[in-house]
Structure 1
Amino acid sequence: MFLTDLPPPPPAAETIIVTAARGGESRDKSAASVSLIEPVTVERLGEPLLATLLRLTPSASLSVAGPAGSLTQVRLRGAEANHTLLFVDGIRANDPAAGNEPRFELLSADLADRIEIVRGPQSALWGSEAIGGVVALSAQPRDDFSAVAEAGSQRFGRIGGSAGYREGDVSVGLGGGIQGARGINAFAGGPGDRDGYRNAVLRGRVDWTAGPLTLSASGFGIASKSEFDGSDPATFLRADTANSTRNRLAAARLGARFDADGWKLALGVSRLGSRNRNLLAKIEQNRTSGRRDTLTAEAGRDFAAAGVASRLTVAGEWTGERFTASDTVYGGFTNQRRKRDQTALTAEYRGEAGPVVATLALRHDAFSAFRDAMTFRAGALIALGGGLQLAGSWGEGIAQPTFFDLYGFFPGSYVGNPALKPERSRGGELSLRAVSGPWRAAITAYRQRLRDEIVASPDFTSAVNASGRSRRDGVELEAGWSGGEWLNLSATYAYLDAAEPAGRELRRPRHSGSVAADGSAGRLTYGAALSYTGTRLDRDFDLFPSPLVRLPSHWLASARLGYQVTPGVELFGRVANAFDRRVVDVVGYRAEGRSLFAGIRLGPRR
C-alpha cells in the first residue's frame, strides 16, 4: 500500500484510511480520529466544490471570503489555516506560492470524490503543516463512464465527467470538468459588480502491474479565475473593486512499489508547481510562483512474534521548495526569489494482539533554514467488547514559517521577519466509540498546546513568534446510521475553546455541528445536509485600532433530488442555502443566498 507520498486509494469495498498510518489502516482499528466521506455521498449531495462538504465533519471551521470560488480557509480543531496538510491523489498539495495553505477554493468535485480527514497532530507521519490534521482527496477507481451537466442561479454552469478502463495488467483513469458562476457582489456594504469564478480541472492515472511489482503515473491540473472585492488603492480600505486572481496548480508523480512475502517497498518522485497572478481592473499587480519536488523511499515489513502481528515501516524523504514573487506596481521592490529544502527520516511501528492495537511513530526533519526537529506520535485502541472501543493518542506537530512570513514585503504595510522560528504543537485525545450493527457513535475529548505561534506584530506590519502558548481544547460528538441503499444518516457536534496569549482566536466558532442524509429508492436518489456555525470573532481592519467584531451564527441547508428516467440517465435538482440565510464568514464579505440548480447525469449509479 505504498506509492510516492501516500498509498493509492483503496478499493471501494475496504474502509481503509490511507493517512492514518504510513501503510494505511482500517478505520475500525485506528487510534486516530478520522472522518470519511465516500464517493456515493459526494455524488448524492451534489456539491460542485468539495470544501463545502468539510462542514459535515467535526471541528472543521470554514472561512469563505465571499461567494463560491472565493478564498476558502479551513481550520481543523482550532489550528491555523496553514496547519492543515492536504494531499491530492497522494501528492502533497499545499501551495508554496500562497503561504503553504491548501487551496480549498480550487478543489472541484471533478477532481476527486473521496475525502478523508484525520484530526490532530500528524507530523510524526507526514511532516510540516500537519498540526491540525490531514485532508486527503482521491478519485475512486472505476471501470465505467459518467458525465454531469448542471446550470442554475448566479449563471452557474458545470460540465464534467470521468472514465476508467482496465485490461489485463493495465488500468487507466481520467476525469475532469469545467464550472463557473457570475456570482454576487461579495462586498457586504451594498450593491455593486458581481464577483464570479471559473474553474477547470483535469486528472489522470495509469497503473501497470506485473506480479508483485506495480508502476504508476498520475497527475492533476487546475486552472482558475476568481473575482473579488479588495481594498481601495488610495485609502487601503475595503471597497467594491474589480480585483481578480488567476491561479494555476499542477502536479505529476511517478512511483513504483513491490509487495510480496511480507515486504512492501516503494520509490517515488513528484513535482508540484503553482502560479498566482493578482489583477486590478485587468491590470496585473503582482504574481507569485512556487515549486515543490519530492523524492520518497519506503520499506515496510509485516511479521508476527509472540502472538503479536506487527508491521515496521521506515521512510526517507527529500523535499525542495522554490518561491518567486514579483510586482508591477512597486517597481520591483517586492520581488523575491527564495529556496529551501529538507530531508526526513520516519520510523513507524504497528502491533496488534487480540483486542489491542498500538502504534508508535518517530520522525526527524533536517531543515536547511531552521533547526532540526523531532516529532513523536503514539496511539492505542482497545476493543472492550460489545462493540465498544477505547482509543487514545498523543502526538506532535510542526509548521515551517511560510516564505511570505519570512521574506514578504509591501512598501508601507508589511516587512517579513527572517528570524521566525517554526511553530510547534503537541497534544492528545481520548475517545470512546461504539459500533453496533448499522449504528456508529463516538465521543472524543482533545487538548493541544501550540508554542511559537506566528502572529501579526503589534502594529500589523510584520510577523512575530508569540510568547507563551496557545491552547485548543474541545469535545467532538459523532453518530451515524446505515440503513442500506435507502438511507444513511450522520450527525456531528463540536465544542472548541481556542485562545492565543492575546485572547480568543479568530474565525473559530465555539459551537458547530451538522446533520446529513443520503440514499436511493427505486428511481430516486436523494441527499440533504444541514450545518451550523456558531458565533466567532474577526477583526475589522477598516477601523483603528482594528477592533474585534462578532460574526453572527448561521445555518446552511442544501438538498439534491434525482430521478432516473432511463437506465444510465438521471435528471436532478439541487438547492443551496435553502433557508436563504445571510452568511458572513469574513468581515466585509458575504456569500450567496438561496440558489437553485438543475442538471442531468449520465452513467450508472454508484
Structure 2
Amino acid sequence: MSDRFPIPLSVTIPSTLTLAFIFSSTAAFAGDKPVAADTTLMPALSVTANSTDTPLDEVGSAVTIITAKELEQKQTVLVSDALRTVPGVAVNRTGAVGNLTQVRIRGSEGNHTLVMIDGVEMNDPATSDEFDFGNLLAEDIERIEVLRGPQSALYGSQAVGGVINIITKKGEGAPRAAAHLEGGSFGTIMGNATVSAGGDNYNALVSAAGIHTNGISTADDRNGNDENDRYKNATFLGKFGYDFQPNFGVDFVGRYTRFDGMGDGWGTRPGDTTTPYQYAYDDNSNWNGNQYFLHPQAHLSLMDGAWQHQLGFTYYASTRDSLTGDTVTGNSTGRRYKADYQTSYLFETPDFARASHTLTFAADVERDEIDSWSAYSDIRKGNNASGYVGQYQVSLFGNLSLTGSVRADRNNMFKNANTWRGTAAYQLDATDTKLRASYGTGVKNPTLNELFGYYGTYQGNPDLKPEHSKGWDAGFDQPLFGDKALFSATWFNQRVEDLITSTYIGGKSTSVNMAGQSKIYGAELELSAEVLDDVTVRGAYTWTHGRDSTGAELVRRPTNIASLDVNYAFLDNKANVNLGVVYNGAQKDWTWGVPDYNRIVVNLGGYTLFNLAGSYQLTEALQLYARAENLFNKRYNEVFTYGAPGAAVYAGIRVGF
C-alpha cells in the first residue's frame, strides 16, 4: 500500500475552521514589535528531546511545550485536559473525574506513551504498563513537554508513540507561601497550598493539593444510571536541592497521591436478558489506592561545565483496592526499583564547520514487580531489565543540527532489543524557517498483566511477542510577523508489527498479537500568535489515519482533533479572560456481544466543548477567579456507554505572600 494518501473530504470541516482562523488573524497584528526572548510563544529549550538541555532551534523532533502560565490562564485542574490542546494527542476518560484516563500520541496505544514526572517513569507495572492520568492534578507544574514519535532509542520500551515529561516547580527567591481554594458544580471543592524558597545554592518546595467532588454517574445517565460517583484525591509534593560546591549538588523529589472513588460495572445489568452487548451500568463498586515515588539524584560538573554527570535512584509504588460496598474484593500492587546514570561531554571545533558536539552515554537498571490477588487468582511476578544509550549531537555552520541515538535493552523475559533514532534540523537564514525531520525505531514488551493475567474474566498469554515500530516525521516551524507568531506543520508515518490487542477465547478475555503491520499516518498543524499586545491565540489541528493489520480502524483514535485558545490580558495585566475550544471528531470504539463475546464495533460521535476562564488581581497578594466548563452543556461519550460532565461553573480565591 502506498505511503502517499490524499486527505479525505471529511477533514475539511475542522481544518477549514483552523485555516480560516490562521489567515483571518494575520490581519490583526499590530506593527512589528518584537516579542521578548522569554515569551511563552517560543520557549528557548527542550529538556526532553535529547535528554539534555537543547535549544529548540536544534531539535529535529516534533515537540510541544505547555507552560505554567498557560495552565494558570486556563485554570486547568487535570493534566489530561491540558493535553487535549496538543497536536497528535487523543484523550479518553472513562466517565466521571478520577476514572481511567488514557492518552494516545499519534494513534499509538496508551501504554506506548512514556510518562515522566521530574525524571521519574510513571508507567504503572500494576496495570497495563501505562499511566492513568485520572489522578494527576495540574498543580505546581512548571512545564509539560510532549515529544511525539518513536523515542525508544533514548527512553526504552514505553516510548513507542512518544514521551510526556512533566516538570514541577522548584523553590526560588525569598520564602513564599501561596494557596488557592475553589468550589463549584457537582459538589466540588478543591485547593492547594505551597511553601517555597530558594537561594544561590539551595531550593525547597513543599505542597499539598486536593479535590473532592460528588461527581456524575460514570455510566451514562441517559441509559438510566442516576447514581453519582464521588471522587477525592490528596496529593503531596516535596522537592529539595542543595549544592555543596558550585559543581556538585544533590536533588530530591518525593510525591504521594491518595485517591478514593466510585465506579460502575461493565457487562449487563443483573436481570437484563435482552441486550445483545455489554455496557456500563450502575453497581456498588468502589476503589481506592495510592501512588508514590522517591527520587534522589546527584549531579557533578567537571571541566568548567563541559562534562556533566547525573546519578539517580528511584523507588516507585502503586496500589489499588477494588471493593464491593465496604468489602475489598481484589488488590493490585506495582513496584519499580531503578538506578540510572547519564554523562554528557560538550566540546567545540570552531576551525572545522564552526561545530559544537555533545556526546552522551546513559545506562539504567530496573526491576518491575506486580503483586495482585482476587477471588480468582494470586499473582506475583517480576522482571529485571537494563538499558544502555549512546548519543551524538552536532551543530554545524550555525544552522544545521544532527542527532543520532542507539539503545540496547536487555531483560530476563524477552530477546535483547536494539533501537535507534536520527533527527535533523536546518535553519533557513533568509526566512528563519526551521526544517526538521526524524526517524526512529521502537519496541514495546508485553506487560506482566498481559502475560499472566490477574482476574477472573481475563486469561494471560505467556506466548505474547514484543511489538516493534518504525516511524518518521518531517515538518517545519515558521516564525511570522517579526517573531510575533509561530506556525508549525508536520507529516508523520508509523508502522507497528505484532500489535497487541484483546479478544475473547472460551468466554475469557485475553491478549494476542495481531499478525502483520498496523499503519498510522497523519498531519499536525500548530499556531501560536500574539495577535495584539495583550491577546494571545493558540490553535492546533491533527488528522490521523490509523488502521490495524486487517484494515480495521483503530479504536479511540479520532480522525480529526482541533483546539483553539484565545487569551486576553487587560487592565495592566490585573485581569485575564481565556476562551478555550476543543473539538474531538468521530471515532470508533468496541464492545462485546452477549452471549457469544464477539467483538462489536460502535461509533462515537464527535463533539465540541467551550470553556471560559477569568481572573482579577485585587491586590498583589489576592486574586479572584472563576470559570465555566462545557458552556453549552454538550452531551457526549469518550468511551462507549460511559458518561461525561455537562455544563459546570467554579469560582475561587488565590493568595500569595
Q: Post-superposition shift, 1:484?
A: 8.0
2:472 is matched with: 428
Q: Helix, strand or coil for the counterpart of 1:52?
A: helix
> Letter of the aligned partner of 1:341 in structure 2?
N
Name the CA distance, whole Å, in 2 between partners of 1:280 and 1:486: 53
The more displaced of 482-491 and 371-380 is 482-491
Q: 2:51 aligns with which of 9, 18, 22?
A: 22
Change (3 A) 1:569 1:519: same
Partner of 2:549: 501
Match of 1:154 in 2: 186
Give the secondary-structure state (helix, strand or coil) at the position aligned to 2:127: coil
For residues 568 and 258 of structure 2, the distance between their equivalents in structure 1, rounded to whole angstroms, comes to 33
Contact 1:110 1:161 in 2 (8 A): no
Deviation string for 1:72-122 (max 9, x for gaps)? 001110000111100011101111111111121111022534211000000
Note if 1:540 corresponds to 2:582: no
Counterpart of 2:240?
206
Residue type matched to 1:587 in 2?
A: F
- State which of 401, 419, 434 in structure 2 corresponds to 1:389: 434
Residues 578 and 595 of structure 1 are in contact (CA less than 8 Å); yes or no, is this contact kept in structure 2?
A: yes
Letter of the aligned partner of 1:312 in structure 2?
L
* CA RMSD between the two structures: 1.9
Do the aligned partners of 1:111 and 1:201 also contact (CA within 8 Å) in 2?
no
- Return the alpha-carbon distance in structure 2 between the equivalents of residues 192 and 456 of structure 1: 30
- Matches of 1:265 and 1:77, distance apart in 2: 33
CA distance in structure 1 between the partners assigned to 2:626 and 2:511 by the alignment? 47
Preserved CA contact (<8 Å) 2:171 2:204: no
TM-score with structure 2 setting the length: 0.87
In structure 1, the partner of 2:562 is 513
- 2:198 aligns with 166
Helix, strand or coil: the match of 1:565?
strand
Instruction: Output aligned runs, 1:321-400, within 5 Å.
Output: 321-327=368-374, 330=375, 333-353=376-396, 354-385=398-429, 386-400=431-445
Q: How does 1:220-235 map to 2 (within 5 A)?
A: 220-231=255-266
1:340, 1:395 → 2: CA distance?
26
Check if 1:601 corresponds to 2:654.
yes
For 1:7, the equivalent position in structure 2 comes to none
Q: How far has the Cα of 1:457 moved from its partner?
A: 3.3
Q: Take 2:454 and 2:210, find their aligned partners in 1: how far apart are those partners? A: 35
- Tell me which of 510, 514, 522 is aligned to 1:474: 522
1:79 corresponding residue in structure 2:
108
The farther-off stretch of 303-312 and 540-549 is: 540-549
Change (3 A) 1:519 1:38: farther
Deviation for aligned residue 1:487: 2.4
Matched, 1:557 2:610: yes
| Aligned residue runs from structure 1 range 63-462, under 5 A | 63-110=92-139, 112-143=141-172, 144-188=176-220, 189-209=223-243, 210-231=245-266, 238-261=280-303, 262-305=306-349, 306=352, 307-327=354-374, 330=375, 333-353=376-396, 354-385=398-429, 386-411=431-456, 413-436=457-480, 437-457=483-503, 459=505, 461-462=509-510
* 1:577-588 equivalent positions in 2, closer than 5 A: 577-588=630-641
SS in 1 for 2:73: helix
Could you tell me whether the CA contact under 8 Å between 1:237 and 1:542 is conserved in 2?
Answer: no
Q: Relative to structure 2, which stretch is displaced further, 508-517 or 450-459? A: 450-459
Note if contact 1:44-1:519 (Cα within 8 Å) is conserved in structure 2.
no
CA drift at 1:483: 5.5
2:11: which partner in 1?
A: none
**Aligned partners of 1:255 and 1:14: how far apart in 2?**
26
Q: Residue 64 of structure 2 aligns with which residue?
A: 35
Contact 2:279 2:640 in 1 (8 A): no
Tell whether the 8 Å contact from 1:267 to 1:296 is kept in structure 2 after alignment: yes
Q: How many angstroms does 1:520 deviate by?
A: 2.3
Return the alpha-carbon distance in structure 2 between the equivalents of residues 62 and 422 of structure 1: 25
Residue 400 of structure 1 aligns with an amino acid whose one-letter code is N
Contact 2:113 2:130 in 1 (8 A): yes
- 1:219 is displaced (CA, Å) by 1.1
Structure 1 residue 44 corresponds to structure 2 residue 73: yes
After superposition, give the CA deviation of every residue in 1:294-319 in whole Å (9 maximum; x if it has no partner). 11111110012323100000011101
After TM superposition, give the deviation of residue 356 of structure 1 in Å: 0.2
In our comparison, the structure showing a higher alpha carbon Rg is 2
Query: How many correspondences in the alignment?
Result: 590
CA offset at residue 542 of structure 1?
A: 5.3
Consecutive unaligned residues in structure 1, runs of 5 or more? 1-9
User: Any idea what the Cα deviations from partners look like across 1:453-496, whole Å, max 9, x if unmatched?
Assistant: 11123536211111001111010011111368722211011000
Shift of 1:234: 5.8
Shift of the alpha carbon at 1:168?
Answer: 4.2
Alpha-carbon distance in structure 2 between the residues aligned to 1:185 and 1:25: 45
SS in 2 for 1:254: strand
How far apart are 1:282 and its partner, in Å?
Answer: 2.5
The question of whether the paired residues in 2 share the 8 Å contact of 1:110 and 1:201 is answered with no
More divergent stretch after superposition (104-113 vs 54-63): 104-113
1:519 deviation in Å?
4.2
Q: Please, which of 86, 89, 92 is the counterpart of residue 60 of structure 1? A: 89
- Residues 269, 281 of structure 2: 8 Å contact kept: no
Determine which of 582, 587, 591 is the counterpart of 1:531.
582
SS of 1:406's partner is helix
Moved more, 275-284 or 462-471: 275-284
The answer to whether the 8 A contact 1:530-1:558 is kept is: yes
Letter in 2 for 1:335: D
Decide whether the 8 Å contact of 2:366 with 2:384 is kept in 1.
Answer: yes
The residue aligned with 2:274 is none
The separation in 1 between residues aligned to 2:289 and 2:593, in whole angstroms, is 27
Q: Aligned-pair distance for 1:419?
A: 1.3
TM-score (norm 1): 0.94
Structure-2 residue corresponding to 1:3: none
- In 2, are the aligned partners of 1:166 and 1:172 still within 8 Å (CA)? yes
Shift in CA distance, 248/542, structure 1 to aligned 2, threshold 3 Å: farther
- Confirm or deny: 8 A CA contact 2:57 2:425 kept in the other structure: no
Aligned-partner residue type, residue 198 of structure 2: R
Alpha carbons of structure 1 residues 169 and 101: separation in structure 2 relative to 1, 3 Å: same
* Gap change, CA 1:181 and 1:453, over 3 Å in 2: same
How much does 1:11 deviate?
13
The corresponding residue for 2:534 is 486
Output the CA distance in 1 between the equivalents of 2:210 and 2:340. Answer: 33
Give the secondary structure class of the aligned counterpart of 1:195: coil
Q: Report the 3-state secondary structure (helix = DSSP H, G, I; strand = E; otherwise coil) of the residue aligned with 2:84.
A: helix
Aligned counterpart, 1:571: 624
Single out whichever of 237-246 and 37-46 deviates more from structure 2.
237-246
Contact 2:230 2:262 in 1 (8 A): yes
Which segment is superposed worse, 485-494 or 226-235?
226-235
Question: C-alpha deviations, 1:360-407, integer Å up to 9, x for none?
Answer: 000000011100000000000011121211100001121111111000
Q: Give the aligned residue type for 2:252.
A: A
Kept after mapping to 2: 8 A contact 1:181/1:198: yes
CA distance in 2, matches of 1:320, 1:485: 52
Q: Secondary structure at the match of 1:405?
A: helix
